Amino acid sequence: MKKKRAESLSPRKNPRQRRSRVTIDAIFEATIQVLLANGLDGVTTIQIAERAGVSVGSLYQYFPDTAAIVAALARRHMDGFEVLMEQAVEAAGAERWDDPVGALVDAVAARYRDEPGYRALWFGPHLSPELRQADRQNKLRLADGLRRVLLALGLARDDSHLVTVCQAAVHTCDALLQEAFRRDPNGDPPLLEETKSMLRAYLAQVTAHYANRGGTR
């Protein structure tokens, strides 16, 4: 893969027409296939164009280089996880969750299973500075979503400690899930269960913290 830095995490041409959206979807799917076959360093625009069934010239109408394609694909994956967290916030406000940790870990693990391209992209060691920064910002947004889940469930009080707690939980869960899916494409079951056990214990500690300080309000 060329080491040229991508300037944006979005396509250079806004895909407003259906035909353009179909083309970009095909480019993304082809990129995932190349990532799975060759790894991040083995991605080229020629391979992507061939697999997508488009000319290299057509590909360049949307993306200036492979780095830009990978960056836009990463943005799509990150947006998907943010949508997943927003759905969790809505569900937490409308339902009673007996096991919020299990529900959230299972939801994220299911997305890992459904998105092999995500694993091929994020588990590699050669992310650009732009992607690493985008990943950090994504985790902060996911942590904020988790904060809102805990508030909706009445398990915590909204303060700076809760912000730190949610950031720690998101980073811990992310690291353990990555390892679980490195071991097994479907997620190593024992490690996934240990992840849940660890985070349940942490949640119990957090809820006790707020209970000892006058509750969640």
In a domain, 177, yes or no: yes
- ∠ CA 138-133-122, nearest 5°, is 70
Q: Residue 29 to residues 11, 48, 69: CA-CA distances in angstroms?
A: 15, 9, 11
Dihedral sign from CA coordinates of 96, 102, 106, 107: positive
Nearest to 59 by CA among 43, 75, 74: 43
- Report the alpha-carbon distance of residue 152 to residue 71 in Å, rounded: 33
Are the C-beta atoms of 44 and 4 separated by less than 8 Å?
no
Amino acid type, 44: T
**Taking 70 as the threshold, does the pLDDT of residue 126 lie above it?**
no
- Report the alpha-carbon distance of residue 30 to residue 18 in Å, rounded: 18
Residue with tokens 């799975």: 36
In a domain, 10, yes or no: no
Range of the domain at 89: 74-211
Q: Residue 80 to residues 85, 100, 151, 212: CA-CA distances in angstroms?
A: 9, 20, 22, 37
In a domain, 115, yes or no: yes
pLDDT tens-digit map of 22-31: 999 999 999 9
State mean pLDDT over 83-99.
Answer: 90
- ∠ CA 18-2-78, nearest 5°, is 50
Q: State what percent of residues in the chain have pLDDT above 70.
A: 88
- Report the alpha-carbon distance of residue 76 to residue 9 in Å, rounded: 9
Nearest to 29 by CA among 123, 37, 177, 3: 37
In a domain, 17, yes or no: no
Total of domains in the chain: 1
Domain of 207, CATH number, reads 1.10.357.10
Categorize the per-residue pLDDT at 214 as very low, low, confident or very high, splitting at 50, 70 and 90.
confident
In a domain, 195, yes or no: yes
In a domain, 31, yes or no: no
Q: What local confidence, expressed as pLDDT, does residue 131 receive?
A: 79
- Report the alpha-carbon distance of residue 176 to residue 4 in Å, rounded: 31
Per-residue DSSP letters for 156-173?
Answer: S--SHHHHHHHHHHHHHH
Nearest to 28 by CA among 18, 41, 43: 43
In a domain, 46, yes or no: no
pLDDT tens-digit map of 133-176: 888 999 999 999 999 999 999 999 999 999 999 999 999 999 99
Q: What local confidence, expressed as pLDDT, does residue 15 receive?
A: 55
In a domain, 11, yes or no: no
Helix (H) or strand (E) holding 55: none
